[in-house]
């Protein structure tokens, strides 16, 4: 053996030498079509209202939401997920504004659909929490507990109203048992077999939702641990996946994304439908806050976080940076 025999013959670094080399061998690529933009529309405001805990995010007016939707089309992203923020006086125990054809969410769905047609998938959060005076995702029984089956009846009505308002896709996020099957039946009963259901199959009871609750003006007292999942559990998520697929989910989602990359990977391995992940408000706000302090490189951190979510197996990512990143990817 020569004196050079101790040097490595295999050198992975050869495939990292230049930006062009790294780009050529990249195993995971982000594309504008990967992204869905969550957007908030607030009733009764004349100007967009900044969300203090989410720098750069606003509660839209109807007009500014239409502009945001048009911008999303131009950026080439796939969809926009709408969340309605009603006037406080319109909240009640049953979330009536959520099923009012003239409620803020339904009006916004019609606005956006009229603006973008089929160029952008118009998606709708199907949940009662923004519309209830108690802030829970369902109606309460006499003991103050969320009544699963009574809530399903409200979800069925909500699905039909949202479909009539123009939603291409409804996203049931309340984590009620049996919600996908009931919603699918409700849509089919009014001849809306064309409306897809994106199941929030895995939704953990997470500390990272805090900024979102400001964004939707949540009235929640207490927590949602009796219906959202325990962060300690993984097998439970796979059970939820099996149930949602059996009930007719067209797509499934994991929420949050960053702290649950292992769950995304397991769901992606097991699912025979597209898998989405929601990079939620707390994930967004942590990066923005650290970048504002000068502690991290904002743009690199955003791309790294999104690449990790896609590498884990997400086909689509709901992210508040959807349009910004899509524009940069060009």
Give per-residue pLDDT as tens, 167-194: 999 999 988 999 999 999 999 999 999 9
Contact call for residues 279 and 3 (beta carbons, < 8 A): no
Of 3, 66, 225, 255, the active-site residue reads 255
Give yes or no for residue 102 having a pLDDT over 90. Answer: yes
Question: What integer pLDDT is reported at residue 57 of this predicted model?
Answer: 95
Reported as a single tens digit per residue, the pLDDT across 77-87 is: 999 999 999 99
Average pLDDT score over the chain: 93
* Total count of residues recorded for the chain: 330
Segment among 90-94, 97-101, 256-260, 261-265 with least mean pLDDT = 90-94
For residues 145 and 5, the model is more confident at 145
- To which H or E segment does residue 82 belong? strand 79-85
The total of other beta-carbon atoms located within 10 Å of residue 45's CB is 16
Question: What integer pLDDT is reported at residue 138 of this predicted model?
Answer: 86
Question: What integer pLDDT is reported at residue 198 of this predicted model?
Answer: 98
pLDDT category at 217 given cuts 50, 70, 90 is low
Closest CA to 212 of 2, 27, 28, 52: 52
Question: What integer pLDDT is reported at residue 250 of this predicted model?
Answer: 98
The DSSP line for 89-133 is: GG-BTT-GGGT-TTSHHHHHHHHHHHHHTTSSEEEEEE-STTTBS
Look up residue 16 and give its two tokens: 């990292």
Rounded to whole angstroms, the Cα distance separating 80 from 169 reads: 10
Question: What integer pLDDT is reported at residue 136 of this predicted model?
Answer: 83
pLDDT category at 224 given cuts 50, 70, 90 is confident
For residues 43 and 6, the model is more confident at 43
Known active-site residue 203: yes
pLDDT category at 89 given cuts 50, 70, 90 is confident
Known active-site residue 91: no
Segment among 8-17, 233-242, 321-330 with least mean pLDDT = 8-17
pLDDT category at 88 given cuts 50, 70, 90 is confident
Distance of CA 199 to the CA centre of its chain: 10
Reported as a single tens digit per residue, the pLDDT across 15-33 is: 999 999 999 999 999 999 9
Reported as a single tens digit per residue, the pLDDT across 271-293 is: 999 999 999 999 999 999 999 99
Torsion angle in degrees (nearest 10) through CA of 124, 128, 130, 133: 160
Closest CA to 157 of 104, 227, 98: 98
Question: What integer pLDDT is reported at residue 144 of this predicted model?
Answer: 86
* pLDDT average, residue stretch 96-111: 96
Of 66, 91, 203, 310, the active-site residue reads 203
Rounded to whole angstroms, the Cα distance separating 306 from 252 reads: 18
Give yes or no for residue 1 having a pLDDT over 60. Answer: no
pLDDT category at 208 given cuts 50, 70, 90 is confident
Rounded to whole angstroms, the Cα distance separating 43 from 310 reads: 34
């Amino acid at each position: 053996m020569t004196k050079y025999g101790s040097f490595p013959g295999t050198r992975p670094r050869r495939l990292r030498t230049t930006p062009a080399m790294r780009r050529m061998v990249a195993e995971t690529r982000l594309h504008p079509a990967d992204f869905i933009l969550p957007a908030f529309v607030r009733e009764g405001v004349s100007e967009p209202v900044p969300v203090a805990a989410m720098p750069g995010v606003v509660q839209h007016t109807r007009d500014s939401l239409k502009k945001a939707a048009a911008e999303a089309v131009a950026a080439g992203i796939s969809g926009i997920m709408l969340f309605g923020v009603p006037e406080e006086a319109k909240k009640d125990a049953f979330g009536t504004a959520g099923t009012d054809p003239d409620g803020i969410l339904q009006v916004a769905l019609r606005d956006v659909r009229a603006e973008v047609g089929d160029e952008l998938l118009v998606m709708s959060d199907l949940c009662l929490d923004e519309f209830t005076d108690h802030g829970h995702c369902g109606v309460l029984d006499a003991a103050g507990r969320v009544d699963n089956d009574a809530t399903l009846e409200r979800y069925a009505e909500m699905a039909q109203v949202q479909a009539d308002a123009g939603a291409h896709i409804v996203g049931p996020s309340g984590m009620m048992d049996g919600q996908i099957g009931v919603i699918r039946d409700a849509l089919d009963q009014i001849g809306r077999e064309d409306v897809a259901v994106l199941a929030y199959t895995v939704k953990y009871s997470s500390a990272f939702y805090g900024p979102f609750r400001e964004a939707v003006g949540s009235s929640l007292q207490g927590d949602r641990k009796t219906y959202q999942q325990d962060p300690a559990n993984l097998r439970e998520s796979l059970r939820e996946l099996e149930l949602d697929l059996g009930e007719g989910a067209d797509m499934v989602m994991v929420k949050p994304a960053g702290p649950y990359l292992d769950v995304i990977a397991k769901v992606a391995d097991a699912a025979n439908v597209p898998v989405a992940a929601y990079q939620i408000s707390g994930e967004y706000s942590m990066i923005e806050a650290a970048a504002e302090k000068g502690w991290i490189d904002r743009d690199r951190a955003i791309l790294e976080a999104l690449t990790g979510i896609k590498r884990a197996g997400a086909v689509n990512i709901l992210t508040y940076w959807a349009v910004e990143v899509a524009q940069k990817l060009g």
